[in-house]
Structure 1
């Protein structure tokens, strides 16, 4: 992603900001527990009022869980852009947030109001789960600024996300996932319709 403009902006002292979004689709009965990890990270982020350190710890936990579940990866995709103005980067983060939040079955409800007293406590187990991670960071990370739609590259990209947290280079973190509720199911047709950018691994 390096260009003449990048070099000029670096020379003039501007900070290089990258905003990227990563999709990971997992399939299999073993992926359902990841929903618990994702929901826990969401609750902690809300309780911490969006504190970047807490969000970063959640991102690390989710990334490490995804790495442990690599045998269940089915498809992936990523997109992003480089910015030299913080406002432009912020606008793109907002755009990706809005898009992720509107994806099929990605709306979370942490109020607990969806569970009624007489409802049975057994849910159908989802066999498909799509995790959407959007981050903004300072500097250059080649492992995230490339096509991540192959297993080795995706592993490197997830490890790079972990490193960014510990290097304190993250400026924004957003996690969305579908289905976001226990009991919701995402079938193959819904994936094709609502996540057309996914590329089989």
Structure 2
């Protein structure tokens, strides 16, 4: 079923957008140079930005900063991604990084999440292996759907949106709680600020210039 979906999807892409013959990424390290500064992004894990108005932790996955085409061609790095994502999900299931307040041992059973595709180009999806990887990542997040209070998928171009639709059969419980937004930040920043205080977000998401993530 999944293979059929991917094959149909790739055929539709080929008829709609010219596929480059020699697509190469902009980086040789497995990470897009664009916005790649924090060491946490090099570990393929989530961050905790802070807390929403109900003191629920806000987790963030910067998938757009992971160079998927490069990774699927480098098994060792791909194995690191898979292991670290699995470990992160186990941590989320155990709530080990979810103190309700700073310097407090009190934990919460719920979380908010942001998945940001900023930096991921349309052409990166012209690969069956890349699509399989993204679908697999969504499938992994299905395991923590029960604790998801709400969430946002940001900077999703129209190809990304189609891949998200493909993931529904494998991660429906997770995705039904996520709002999907495109690349125009003026549309989704107000949505974020309705639920998450400005001082709990970085400037890219409409937050404060002196913002520092909790984890």
TM-score past 0.5 threshold: no
Greater RCO, 1 or 2 (C-alpha within 8 Å, sep 6+): 1
TM-score normalised by the chain length of structure 1: 0.26
Structure (1/2) with the larger helix percentage = 2
TM-score normalised by the chain length of structure 2: 0.24
